[in-house]
Amino acid sequence: MAAGDLIEFGKLVGAGLAMGLGAIGPGIGIGLLGAGAMQAIGRNPEATGQIQTNMILGIVFAEAVAIYALVTALILKFV
């Protein structure tokens, strides 16, 4: 196998692993956020608006970490 092929292989596998492993943490985090929000709404339905706003804010931050992994995968594949 030529050296160039090996590098290509490494890049592709790296891209796949980066996105795959990188999505585990944020996935769990967003699930926890949603669960906490559901429980809070269940206890206090009147505060649904505030809870929803803060949940969306938290989800955007958790998703940002997954986006870092996606950017790494994109750079590996296309640069």
**Segment interacting with another protein, rule: CB under 8 A, options 5-13, 21-29, 37-45, 52-60:** 52-60
Work out whether 70 is an interface residue with another protein (CB under 8 A): yes
Cα 50 to Cα 2, 9, 14, distances in angstroms = 58, 48, 40
Among 6, 32, 47, 75, binds another protein (CB under 8 A): 75
Positions in the binding site for another protein (CB under 8 A): 56-57, 60-61, 63-64, 67-68, 70-71, 74-75, 78-79
